[in-house]
Structure 1
Amino acid sequence: MHSTLATQLGLTCPIIQAPMAGVSTPLLAAEVCKAGGMGALGLGSVDAEGGRKAIRAARALGASCLNANFFCHQPTAIDPAKAAAWLSALTPEFARFDATPPNELHEIYLSFVSDPARPEMLLEERPEVVSFHFGLPSTEVIAALKTAGITLFASATNIDEARACMHAGMDAIVVQGIEAGGHRGCFDPDAKDDAQSTLVLLAQIKPHTDLPLIAAGGLMDGADCARALQAGADMVQLGTAFILCPETSADAGYRAAMASDAADNTGFTRAISGRPARALPNAFTAWGATQQLESPGYPHTYDAGKALHAAAKAKGDHSYGAHWAGSGAGRARSLPAAQLMAALTAEIAQHS
């Protein structure tokens, strides 16, 4: 099974490696590309020069069809009272590791919609694909990227977001089901989430658009991918399936958690970053489940979360990490990316 979108992008298989910020690397992206798929870089957590460096590194390693991904959340001002209450609640957790929380919280990730430097960098570096999470950039930025010949993707978690992607001029829509690991791509994290599965959401969106659709969420092997492709997806996007590849930057604690019973019990938390995200259960998610406080929002909450993880990790405790993972995490395979891609491709053929 081979999609028109994959052909247009010069791919030999319909597999996209998800742009996992903090886990995906230029080497992983390059290895996926060399195996015929689309490699991706999660650049939402770096500035323009950091993004440029990553894109050039992936190119140097052989990435031929590269997806550069960015966060398009709506910036919000920090509420000092919420921040103070949150930091106070976290103080006993920091104390476990002889540490104190930061005095204040910062906007550690500048949204793509607020940063003219990153679109300018993209016009110079010209990755084949630029994709967006949490929303969409301005019409001016979209027009400039399209004029430069860059293909644009955006994620949607419901039909209204998919319509927004269509109207904005996206070239394809990443259909993110509730099974997906990491952050929900909801444009408004406080709106009601219908929490549709990948295949159900795909069936809802497909009748309303001629745009290529990319299924994302809970896809771990070629059989999963084949089902999504048979249900009408043009391509498939996998993230959790790649976490255990040696080419990712997942640390030892993350890898150990992925190999534990936690991998069969993923769930959603806002405690780590301030936005709903599916993760492996750990001490941090357990703490979050006990809290009645409203978090200071994204990405300010993540400033505290990263500080707590660093304090714990310095004492040899990995149970406060942002261990994002999808619902099929227990089926992840510890294989080099090239071998995993070969296995996925063979399994898709077998089940098609």
Structure 2
Amino acid sequence: MLDALGVEVPIVQAPMAGVSTPALAAAVSNAGGLGSIGVGATDAAGARAAIADLRSRTDRAFTVNVFVHGPAKADPAREAAWLDWLSPLFAEFGAEPPKALRTIYKSFADDEEMLAMLIETKPPVVSFHFGVPALDAITGLKRAGATLLATATSLEEARKIEAAGIDAIVAQGIEAGGHRGVFDPSAPDDGLGTIALTRLLVQNIKLPIIAAGGIMDGAGIAAVLDLGASAAQLGTAFIACPESAADEAYRAALTGPGADHTRLTTLISGRPARALANRFTGLHKSVADLLPPDYPIAYDAGKALHSAAKGKGEHGFGAQWAGQGAPLARAMPAAELVATLVRELNAAPSGPARSL
């Protein structure tokens, strides 16, 4: 699957909305991997501009990632209770919480403009997180020449992806940073690790599998290739690259004690996501039985709180997404990191030889 795209090494950079940039994705693609940008948190115009920027930097394949979450259900009483709970924190920073919360971006499932833009601009690869879109969207993107990927956190989700006609599956283990790709966040999550999930999908699914979660170096890439994966997807490993959009506080936190204690939390956005331990993730101790609003409505509150806190020099309320391998992060340019990963992969005792 990657060979058909002209990808030289089995390294996929995770899209990481808000962190990945066209410069980062292009650097990875130019180095022989598959770079990615996440456009799930923007509109069609913003996505079009990002794709154009990325295309100006590389003539190699890249991925554009979109979110296919279910529709958020507004619940004014629940949202008001959430804002009341957060109000002392806003007050700490001399700010008022929002009067009401909004659905801050659309799901790709409901975004006809985004679909039309992708069909028009023809990115080489389109990937889906939180589910798969309707058949007409899949058909339209394939007719436009796109290779399609989708995230699965379980065998059941992988079977749905396979049945939908997607080309390859990203097997996201519980170790992964950022949002869990679960289709239904209200359903029980078995929390499968990358090793178990990768083997389950390799044994039961006919599509190529891209392993994701906790992979930070060439030895980790070699391990998942030995399990039968076609490639490895790394996200946290690229946060410290100068081409990423991570701010200085995020980069400092990545090398701080919070990296040793990443936590899955729904408090920031309303969906389970793994982040560096900080003041926001620590609120789980006081939330009791209060449920956050639906994703991405809760994210409106989270972003507002982060903005208020950041204005007063407090950076502990940022969405500092990172996986369990965070302490292994290395700060270097993306192309240098890809070359380092390839050297480590080639040096791994059982890893197949790869070269740039």
What interval of TM-score do these two structures reach, taking the shorter chain for normalisation? over 0.9
Taking the TM superposition and a 5 Å limit, the aligned residue runs for 1:1-352 are: 5-62=1-58, 64-292=60-288, 293-351=290-348, 352=351
2:354 aligns to what?
none
Does the aligned pair in 2 maintain the 1:176–1:185 contact within 8 Å?
A: yes
- CA RMSD in angstroms, aligned pairs only: 0.7
- Of stretches 150-159 and 204-213 in structure 1, the one that deviates more from structure 2 is 204-213
Does the aligned pair in 1 maintain the 2:73–2:294 contact within 8 Å?
A: no
Does the aligned pair in 2 maintain the 1:112–1:137 contact within 8 Å?
A: yes
Does the aligned pair in 1 maintain the 2:275–2:321 contact within 8 Å?
A: yes
Q: How far, CA to CA, are the matches of 1:12 and 1:136 in structure 2?
A: 27
1:52-97 C-alpha deviation (Å, 9 max, x unpaired): 1001101101151110000000102210010000000000010110
SS of aligned partner of 1:283:
coil
Equivalent residue letter for 1:309: H
Q: How far, CA to CA, are the matches of 1:69 and 1:24 in structure 2?
A: 11
Does the aligned pair in 2 maintain the 1:270–1:288 contact within 8 Å?
A: no
SS of aligned partner of 1:41:
strand
Does the aligned pair in 2 maintain the 1:273–1:302 contact within 8 Å?
A: yes
Does the aligned pair in 2 maintain the 1:247–1:337 contact within 8 Å?
A: yes
Displaced runs of 4+ in structure 1, greater than 6 A?
A: none
Q: How far, CA to CA, are the matches of 1:206 and 1:37 in structure 2?
A: 22
Structure 2 portions without partners, runs of 5+: 352-356
Does the aligned pair in 1 maintain the 2:158–2:169 contact within 8 Å?
A: yes
1:256-295 C-alpha deviation (Å, 9 max, x unpaired): 1001011111011110000000000111111133202011
Q: How far, CA to CA, are the matches of 2:58 and 2:179 in structure 1?
A: 28
Q: How far, CA to CA, are the matches of 1:211 and 1:137 in structure 2?
A: 18
Equivalent residue letter for 1:112: F
TM-score, normalised to structure 1's length?
0.98
SS of aligned partner of 1:93:
helix
Identity of matched residues, %: 53
Does the aligned pair in 2 maintain the 1:29–1:63 contact within 8 Å?
A: no
Equivalent residue letter for 1:171: D
